[in-house]
Structure 1
């Protein structure tokens, strides 16, 4: 009898031992579009409830049907992927055509790059040039299904334009604070460019190129109407820079500009009620100091989950030479804003 009681006691104590939560894994894809920065998180493992920033996230098995769904991934609160949409990341990489060659400019380290124009090709540096060889993107760190979901989304948004897809060497967003912590958390970051400008069109016949100094969606400009600016001195540029970066802490230092050789043009879209809005530089031409700059105004796609906060997109460009006037227009030639030197 005593032996039976001991066994029963041991079984009872075993039931009281805290069990570790079931393990799960996360595969995160950070996608930098021109109009938004998106985070997609796929969860794998056992169904369970985890916490993200104090909020419960239910991980459960469902039949994947929606866009970006991946076989074997757990649904997060009923969705095939946990998706976050934020304002676009500033200072993206940019590729342009220079004759038959493609030139990539930017400060971000890249693992690989591909171009889509009636089919995918890998962009490979060789002998000082970027060569194109037929090759479908295979993003490091992703499963075949995740890779296919990214490519499908990228091509679905291209609107007939050429695409440049960069796999970045480092993530741009910090990992999510998940409780309990996942057994494995891998992050893949990519940047997407729609449209390839011609170097000739960007230069407008000048020997120096137009350069994007900064762009973003959180300026201190609060008017709802768009506004153009043209700065030709250090003092006027300082005021312009403060307007663009006034909501950023700590405020980034303004880049050095030689105003004997360059001018600064800026376009502020106006305050918007949510994220998802932006402005993209398309091309520019000049004649006798008068610049005509074409931009694309970006808007959130219907049904997109958006950051519920006021945003104020802007674009700052460095122009070669002494500019006296600048006009910002859209692709149809509609005037969006104009400014004279100050």
Structure 2
């Protein structure tokens, strides 16, 4: 009996030893907590695997498997994969609205924050700008390399996160006080030698509105060729559910386009003047299941009474951090002259796919 008991105890000890954590050397955790339009905690795990190919740690009470890093847009040098993914991902708690940003067509911003925080960054989906103030009207910005300098992010982490947030359309990112957010640090076993935290508030769908200065163009274009266009406004929350192109040649028709564009918002900005002998064109992308979609006019030409607008259509890329909400992207541009027909094509010259809501508002 004693021999059997002794054998059982030795077996139990061996099994427990096999289940012990074998965390990597120099274990370091860097996390970014995303609130607002993106509710997610991303944790980069740094460490030295030594001669082994696998180890494990406990994050928030859950044992995770650490191995060599995998190819992924969020992977950064020195990090390990977590359960086969580049980063460890968990949802974050909800926060009340923290940020309001509007951009005008001259590149100035109106900003309001309801708590003290750090810098505010803006991207139009292609480039990044750090706003020179965190509150006020007529705020200017400085071009920057993504979110570098935001919170406690390393440059490599900031670059990876910035790239993941591109192709999301116009959005703003505010740095929050990481000690005041509702999500506490993860309990970690073994304890890391360093634990960095950064908290960011993501505001998707930042609208562009017409600048208060300037007058409407009223000079008709030449008989053919390139046409100058002005973006009047753009956003991500139209009340239009299907792809559509709407044309307005009167002030009342332009007001109707604004009602469609801002139909899901509690208020709309003042409708800018259309001017005489001018045309406004609204392009609605239709309802999308997540953020990351957008439409932007990049060129205009006219020939034989036909106006052709070229648009750049964007969609979430691989590894993008998309806002999990219904969106309906749109843009409105103004061009001089009136036309018997308006065509919209993408950058490859393919016709924009229209839905049942297309037509002439005029």
Tell me the TM-score normalised to structure 1 length. Answer: 0.51
CA distance in 2, matches of 1:307, 1:107: 22
Structure 2 residue aligned with 1:211: 231
Q: 1:266 pairs with 282, 298, 313, which one?
A: 282
Q: 1:222 pairs with 238, 241, 259, which one?
A: 241
Asked if the contact 2:164/2:319 (under 8 Å) is kept, the reply is no
Q: Measured at CA, do residues 79 and 292 of structure 1 come closer, stay the same or move farther in structure 2, by a change above 3 Å?
A: same
Asked if the contact 2:285/2:330 (under 8 Å) is kept, the reply is yes
Shift of 1:326: 2.4
Q: Measured at CA, do residues 296 and 290 of structure 1 come closer, stay the same or move farther in structure 2, by a change above 3 Å?
A: same
CA distance in 2, matches of 1:267, 1:294: 11
Asked if the contact 2:43/2:87 (under 8 Å) is kept, the reply is no
Q: 1:141 pairs with 150, 153, 161, which one?
A: 150
Structure 2 residue aligned with 1:171: 174
Q: Pairwise mapping of residues 94-113 of structure 1 onto structure 2 (< 5 A)?
A: 105-107=107-109
Q: 2:248 pairs with 231, 243, 257, which one?
A: 231
CA distance in 2, matches of 1:190, 1:291: 34
What's the secondary structure of 1:311's corresponding residue? Answer: coil
CA distance in 2, matches of 1:112, 1:298: 20
CA distance in 2, matches of 1:271, 1:189: 21
CA RMSD across the alignment = 5.7
Asked if residue 281 in structure 1 is aligned to residue 302 in structure 2, the reply is: no
1:106-150 Cα distance to aligned partner (Å, 9 max, x none)? 537998999xxxxxxx9xxxxxxxxx9xx9878213667x42245
Q: 2:272 pairs with 256, 277, 280, which one?
A: 256
Shift of 1:263: 3.1
Tell me the TM-score normalised to structure 2 length. Answer: 0.49
Q: Measured at CA, do residues 311 and 137 of structure 1 come closer, stay the same or move farther in structure 2, by a change above 3 Å?
A: closer
CA distance in 2, matches of 1:271, 1:331: 21
Shift of 1:215: 2.7
Q: Measured at CA, do residues 247 and 72 of structure 1 come closer, stay the same or move farther in structure 2, by a change above 3 Å?
A: same
Q: 1:246 pairs with 263, 267, 271, which one?
A: 263
Asked if the contact 1:215/1:316 (under 8 Å) is kept, the reply is no
Gaps of 5+ in 2: 1-28, 46-56, 92-99, 112-118, 124-128, 130-142, 187-195, 205-221
Asked if the contact 1:111/1:167 (under 8 Å) is kept, the reply is no
Aligned residues: 256
Q: Which has the larger radius of gyration?
A: 2
CA distance in 2, matches of 1:157, 1:105: 20
Asked if the contact 2:278/2:337 (under 8 Å) is kept, the reply is yes
CA distance in 2, matches of 1:173, 1:264: 39
CA distance in 2, matches of 1:60, 1:83: 13
What's the secondary structure of 2:240's corresponding residue? Answer: coil
Q: Measured at CA, do residues 112 and 185 of structure 1 come closer, stay the same or move farther in structure 2, by a change above 3 Å?
A: closer
Asked if residue 27 in structure 1 is aligned to residue 49 in structure 2, the reply is: no
CA distance in 2, matches of 1:90, 1:328: 29
Structure 1 residue aligned with 2:189: none
Shift of 1:329: 0.8
Q: Measured at CA, do residues 272 and 155 of structure 1 come closer, stay the same or move farther in structure 2, by a change above 3 Å?
A: closer
Gaps of 5+ in 1: 1-23, 31-36, 50-56, 95-103, 115-121, 123-131, 192-202
Asked if the contact 2:38/2:323 (under 8 Å) is kept, the reply is no
What's the secondary structure of 2:233's corresponding residue? Answer: strand
CA distance in 2, matches of 1:276, 1:27: 20
